[in-house]
Chain A
Amino acid sequence: MQDALVPVKADDAHGELIQLVSFNLDQEEYGVDVLKVREIIRMPVVTRVPNTPHYVEGVINLRGKVIPIISMRKKFGLMEAENDKQTRIMVMDVEGELMGFIVDAVSEVIRISGSEIQPSPAVVTGGIDQECIAGVINQAERLLVLLKLEMMFSRDEKKFFSGM
């Protein structure tokens, strides 16, 4: 990881400064911890894998390593969209395993302080499992949903993945 990605300790009482990568998905903006993001790539050719959950798009060759690709839209039960020039795959580290997530667009790296994270309101997100939402960040004119990657897959899903 690059040096720039090391979280910066804030010296005031506002808690730790966190760096997030923000990305777009169906009008909404989301954020994940920058340390979890390995790289951001354009859409390559995806090889379909049969008999997998619907949100698994398939696998790709990431410089000699085969990694699964997951459609964030499908995972969150959002409308499917055509891939366009903005579409990106965020390769992230989910509990030690590399996985690619298809998102509409990746915007920027932002810094927030821990105190800006608010717990998500009880009824906030249509299809998205509440589990994987770590909180909401309300910054001036933008609203960011902070995702917790390790909660992306429910226990049942993990069971499906790891043994059938």
Chain B
Amino acid sequence: MPPIDCEDQELLEGFLTETTELIEKLDDDLITLEKASGDTELMNRIFRSIHTIKGASSFLGFDLLVKVAHKTEDVLNRLRKGELVVTPEIMDVILEATDLVKLLVGDIKAGDIQEREIDGTIAKLLPFLSENAGAAQKAAEPVQPVPDTPQPQVVETPVSNVQPSSEAVPVPESAPESVAAPPQPQPQPQPAPVPAPKPAADVAPKKTPAPPKAADSKGDDLSDNSTVRVDVKRLDDLMNQVGELVLERNRMIQINQDLQQGEADRPDFQEEFGKLTKRMSFVTSELQMQVLKMRMIPVEKVFKKFPRIVRSMSRDLGKEVDLQIFGEETELDRSVVDEIGDPLIHLIRNAMDHGLESPDERMAAGKSRVGTLVLAAVHEGNQIIISIKDDGRGIDTERVGRKAIEKGLLTEEQLAALSQREMFDLIFLPGFSTKEKATDLSGRGVGMDVVKTNIKKLNGLIEIKSEKGQGSEFILRLPLTLAIIQSLLVEVEGEVYSIPLSSVLETIRVDQRKFHMIGGQEVLKLRDMVLPLIRLQKVFNVQQRGESEDFCYVVVVGAADKRMGLVVTRLVGQQEVAIKSLGNYLANIPGIAGSTILGDGRVTLIVDPVGMIEGNE
């Protein structure tokens, strides 16, 4: 195994980016192919991908990778030519090979090439390649320099090049090595070159349009988000905006000079300054939009790995699942995309393992054998809503309750007082699991806790809808971006706090004498509901300044279906603020979501209403 001998780091990086992209797409395509095996376009695409990987890695001298890719390509080639038929068995092997390719690429990426065991996988691929002993023998010969694939950009190393001497096997699934298939009359003088020109021709143009394609950010590796590809057009737009900003800055310098020279008394000075401010604010918000757009990537990036997961899980669990994905083009901020992968995997595992029943159970319950799992994403205002819905057995609240008591997570009395909703919420408790035994899929009671924590970290909400026997739906509500939010500035005895506008339902000015006390909890009668109140002054230990007034403001905030009133001294106004982290040391203060910097340069804390509502329970 040669070390990474590419002096040209750029070349290597290019290879890695491209290969990673191809592999990601490949997984998805393969799963699709299994369902739609007649799709020749898809088949060709898959073939081209693996072919490109092979070509590029051989160019760079990654021999192991070439070997695996080559064998996979051969199998795919036979599938493509209709010599083999797509079966789950073949797919298993191909997927295994793809995994191996991933692993090898991962090694290269880590700059740490190891001698991996690849023979096992290759051995599994071989049966699909050879039709008779002669072919098998040929395959065993180490070097068989077939004048292979005349690609323009790729130097093909003559690795143990098994170009199957190529008789078609009529019954492909059963193609064992020993099938002495009667040599078909069809003479194939040059096995390789026949298919080769086509992929080569296809590969080349495919490479060129790659950058524009990144516009929809089919982009980079899931595990490595350190680089971004941006549509050139978006970049141009950004440049234009920056150009305007520069002009406005010059204007500002000019105005400042005028001011210095005492020309501020000119009658039009004020007007000019006003105009400048307006233009500045316009350009800045445009700029903000542009940058935000660049950060947006389709949720597809996360979704596309799920068909594979669902496939392998359904095979492991012996369940039949039809995964339907909607709205994968929905865009959201990359920081959010990076964070939702894990929770979604947990939710999908959960649905597969706990939600959906086995085919027999389903039949018994009068449902179709095949369970449905729907993964959907949609925009709603400033939020994105992702739902994972199955038509399985639903959440058995009784069982959940019993388990919770067994595990000592709550007492009988507490349980009795819970509403249906709150029962559902029990499954998010750390350590909760209805499974008697932990399997490698689930049962350790960690998953849902992870989901909850991660979603909370994103300022998101999670809702559960479930009906016994009918299925469950997990609904995630996530902010589009974590960087900039609309917020309501409020004053609490001289200190200014910022409340995310997304959770604010209304604000009211009330007389404090109208507050009531119920069981030590201050409440306010608001129309037909009783609103629990939290005095920010108390929870934040703000010093009283001067006389307390009778009138104060109540900011009604809501999370899911819970409402709560935050009592503040004064409303300051609405502002769009950029969220700044408080750093690791102060990251976990209850009730505080972060901080922001106001126009005057002072730091203001952002209140976390969701945390407060939950903390108050």
Contact = CB atoms under 8 A, between A and B. Distances in A.
A97 B583 contact: yes
B585 A59 contact: no
B584 interface: yes
A97 B585 contact: yes
Nearest to A158: B585
A61 B541 CA distance: 22
A164 interface: yes
Contact of B592 (A50, A64, A98): A50
B545 interface: no
B601 interface: yes
Interface residues of A, number: 24
B583 A49 contact: no
A68 interface: yes
Interface string B51-74: 000000000000000000000000
Given A161-B586, A161-B588, A50 B597 contact: no
B440 to A, nearest CB: 27
A62 to B, nearest CB: 10
A45 interface: yes
B609 interface: no
Nearest to B602: A45
Interface in A35-50: 45, 47-50
Interface string B20-39: 00000000000000000000
A90 B602 CA distance: 19
A134 to B, nearest CB: 21
Most interface-central of B584, B590, B591 (chain A CB within 10 A): B584
B603 interface: yes
Contact of A68 (B539, B583, B592): B583
Interface string A5-42: 00000000000000000000000000000000000000
Contacts of B590: 51, 164
Nearest to A162: B584
A149 interface: no
A30 B541 CA distance: 33
A98 to B, nearest CB: 7
A161 B541 CA distance: 19
A49 B586 contact: yes
B603 A68 contact: no
A163 B584 CA distance: 9
Contacts of A58: 603
B603 A61 contact: yes
B575 to A, nearest CB: 15
A153 B582 CA distance: 17
Most interface-central of B581, B585, B591, B595 (chain A CB within 10 A): B585
Interface of B: 495, 539-542, 580-592, 595, 597, 601-605
Given A67-B583, A162-B585, 4 more contacts: A47-B495, A48-B495, A51-B590, A59-B603
13 contacts: A45-B602, A50-B541, A50-B592, A52-B589, A59-B582, A60-B603, A61-B603, A64-B580, A66-B597, A67-B583, A161-B585, A161-B586, A164-B590
